Amino acid sequence: MPLVDTAPSPPAHRGGSGPATAAPPPKAPLRTRLWAARWSYLYILPLLALLLTFVVYPIFGSLVYTFYRWNGIGEPSDFVGLDNFRQIAHDSIFWDSVAHTFVYAIVVVPVQLVIALALALVLNNKKLRFSAFYRTLFFLPVVTSPAVVGVVVQLMLSNFGDTFNSWLLDAHIIDTPVDWLGNPRIAMGIIILVGIWQTLGYNLVYFLAGLQTIPEEINEAARIDGAGPVRTFLHITVPMLRSVGLMIVILAFIGSFQVFDLVQVLTNGGPYFGTEVVNTYIYHLAFGGNQAAATQPDVGLASAASFFYGLLLIGFSVLQVLIFRSIAKRRAAGRG
Amino acid sequence: MALLTARRPAPGPRPAGRRPAVNARRAAGRSATHVLLLIGGLIWLFPFLWTLGSSFKSADGFFSQGLNPIPKHVMVSNYSGAWKEASFEKYFVNTVLVAGGAVVLTLAATSMAGYVLARTEFPGRKAVIGLISVTLFLPHGYTIIPIFDIVRGLHLLNTLWAVIIVQSSSSLVFATFLFMGYFSTMDREIEDAARVDGASFHQTFWRVMLPLSGPMLATVGLFTCITAWNSFFIPLVFTLSKPELHTLPVGMYSFLGQNSTDWTFLCAGSVISLLPIVVIFLLLQRYFVNGLAGAVKG
């Protein structure tokens, strides 16, 4: 993640007034240094206040709730220790929702990356005119709301779902009409299809950015040496894209594991939890609103589920980085 | 379409031999690429085109015309219906307020912080950068319950302020890093010149550095605007019991649950929800695309 590795440039001057050359020496008393930097503190205050209140504290705050049985009203008082975690670990609906989320990610990410890379290779051709126009065209779904897209998909299904059914029936492909969002497998397929369509643009732009870092001279040299497009792709493009590619894969997985809007709008996790993903599962636990959740919301249980899933995700990211590292090392060793 | 696929004739005289044939084949290949890309693009955008067309259809036409996106009789009344009767006017105003508020808050907090983190030295600077870097890696989206609790403690539950503040905090870290990177590449002489001219710390930032960071303001502003406009989870949680505070995506969702038969109203509502942000994106897209590209390239 280059954003993090980027070392800030050498500071130009201290927070106070006066040119950089007249900055107090580093040994000045702390009080003087703090006072000199008073405006820096003032400027960073809004960010820190928001960050500590709405990002940092909640991470630890949710940990406290995991030890209570609490419906979200009043103060939590019913301390249950690790019971919530035990209950989550034994809840088959939780594990089903983890499985659904992983199926979503494992289908969406590879399919999407292959299409995005192919499209990026075509659009990266310097001789192709209107390449920016095509990029915009395929990128457009990214800037639209997944919730609204979910409604649009429902509208389309309500309209030609029946037409498709009669075509399929006439062609004797199916015997009974398909209940598009009522059949968990088909509903999941539709969610995956829409998910691929909606977020492909990110990966297209990422790949295009990566391809533009490959100097044209290298491709030119390969062509002069008689390498065809396939060999150029395998021996130049792929190795040169490795670091950007790792970033793209990780971002794509992280995004897919957080899927919520589409599922909530298209199926609400149904039918019978058949398309429940982890985020809808947590939402239903914490705020109710599920077909089976006539019960009280259970904030403690929801927090335990979120925390548990958060740990799973961190573990998965670390594993992913380690696997990529070891592949890179083995390749390097094999060559050297 | 013919205009797009037409190729310029190969310039200059060519040496005799196979060249013309090769050129012709290449030109044909390029035309085929354009045709494929255009057909693919048309299919890709079909859901939007169909929704736009259907928003002008009559209730009967909506079903009888099926996949055909071009309405037989153009009806504008779907829009007035969605705008007035189905409260899309309210949803639209709420969404504009949320997106605008999130943009202003995010830009103010992150540009100021990015500036002092990149250009000034103060005790604790490294600790702040460390804290921000760590939060970038912690899983987000699993902390909505304590956030809900804080918002309730601040008596902001069921207000648009809650949505604006929580929405802004979700993109703070990324935006701060973008501003830090941008300010750290700026020439130090600009600041020195301002100070020689007697500019104070505040004047240096607000009058010199901030105006110079226009492209980054556009990138962060556009990111925040698009995210806030499309946001579903945060406004859903914080305006659940207050229909008059719904944003467009939440309004669409609840409308779908209640009156699932007003299909053409919903099509018009979808266009009202999608079109403004698509237009904003098309006008400012280079800032968005550059920002995204920078995130992976570095």
Distance from CA of B126 to the nearest CA of A (A): 10
Q: Which of A36, A37, A209 sits opposite B296 (nearest CB)?
A: A209
**Closest residue in A to B165 (Cα–Cα):** A50
**What is d(CA B101, CA B167) in angstroms, rounded to the nearest whole number?**
9
Non-local CB neighbours of B147 within 8 Å, separated by 6+ positions: A54, A58, B166
Structural contact between residues A143 and B226, judged by C-beta atoms closer than 8 angstroms: yes
Rounded percentage of chain A residues whose pLDDT exceeds 70: 89
Structure tokens at A323: 């696997």
pLDDT at B6: 41
Per residue in A81-128, pLDDT tens?
888 889 888 888 899 999 999 999 999 999 999 999 999 999 988 778
Question: How much is the CA Rg of chain B, to the nearest whole Å?
Answer: 26
Beta strands in A3-82 (DSSP E): 13-14, 68-69, 78-79
The 8-class DSSP code of residue A235 comes to I
Which pair of tokens denotes residue B188? 């130090």
Q: Which two tokens stand for residue A233?
A: 């792709």
Determine what percent of chain A is predicted with pLDDT higher than 90: 21
Sorted by sequence, the CB contacts under 8 Å of residue B292 that are 6+ apart come out as: A202, A205, A206, A209
* CATH number of A91-335, picked from 1.10.3720.10, 2.60.40.10, 1.20.120.160, 3.40.630.10: 1.10.3720.10
Least confident range of A252-256, A287-291, B34-38, B222-226? A287-291
CB contact under 8 A, A44 and B184: no
Asked if the model's pLDDT at residue A230 lies above 60, the reply is yes
Chain A residues with beta carbon closer than 8 angstroms to that of B41: 134, 137-138
Interchain pair B296, A247: CB under 8 A: yes
ipTM greater than 0.90: no
The helix or strand, by DSSP H or E, that contains position B6, with its residue range, turns out to be: none
Interface with A, mutate which of B120, B147, B223 (most A CBs under 10 A): B120
**Cα distance between residue A88 and residue A94, in whole Å:** 7
Closest chain B C-alpha to A47 CA, distance in angstroms? 5
DSSP A24: P
Subunit contact B169:A210, Cβ cutoff 8 A: no
- Burial environment of residue B252 by CB neighbours within 10 A (0 to 12, 13 to 18, 19 or more): buried
State residue B170's pLDDT score. 83
* Residue A305 near residue A94 (C-beta atoms within 8 A): yes
> In chain B, which residues have pLDDT < 50?
1-16
DSSP E strands in chain B: the ranges are 120-121
pLDDT mean over A138-145: 92
Instruction: Look up tokens 């750290």; give the residue.
Output: B184
> What does the block give as tokens for B150?
């804080």
H helices of A171-298, in order, are 184-212, 216-224, 229-232, 238-240, 242-257, 261-266, 278-287
Alpha-carbon distance of B291 to B222, in angstroms, equals 10
The ranges assigned to domains in chain B are 28-75, 85-297
Work out the minimum CA distance from A56 to partner chain B, whole angstroms. 7
Q: Exposed (0-12), middle (13-18) or buried (19+): which is A78, by Cβ within 10 Å? A: exposed
Measure CB to CB from residue A47 to each of B47, B110, B256 and give the nearest one.
Answer: B110
Domain boundaries, chain A: 91-335
In chain A, count H helices and then E strands: 16, 3
Query: Rounded mean pLDDT of A207-212?
Result: 88
In this complex, do B136 and A1 lie within 8 Å of one another by their Cβ atoms?
A: yes
CB contact under 8 A, B121 and A56: no
* Neighbour tally for B171: CB within 10 Å: 17
**CA distances to A132, A210, A230, A263, B226 from A113, in Å:** 20, 13, 18, 21, 23
Given this model, what pLDDT does residue B19 score? Answer: 63
Residue B98 and residue B247 in contact, taking contact as beta carbons nearer than 8 Å: yes
**Residue A160 predicted with pLDDT over 70:** yes
Phi–psi pair at A79, nearest 5 degrees: -75, 125
- Say which CATH class B85-297 falls into: mainly alpha
Give yes or no for a cis peptide into A11 (omega within 30° of 0). no
Q: Above 60 in pLDDT, residue A181? A: yes
Nearest to A9 among B67, B118, B133 (CB): B118
Among A39, A140, A247, select the one facing B45 at the smallest CB separation: A140
Mean pLDDT, residues A229-237 taken together: 83
Res A13 pLDDT > 60? no
**pLDDT tier at A334, thresholds 50, 70, 90:** low
With 50 as the cut, is the pLDDT of residue A12 above it?
no
Which residues of A are less than 8 Å from B110 in CB distance? 47
As given in the structure block, the two tokens for residue B230 are 């499309």
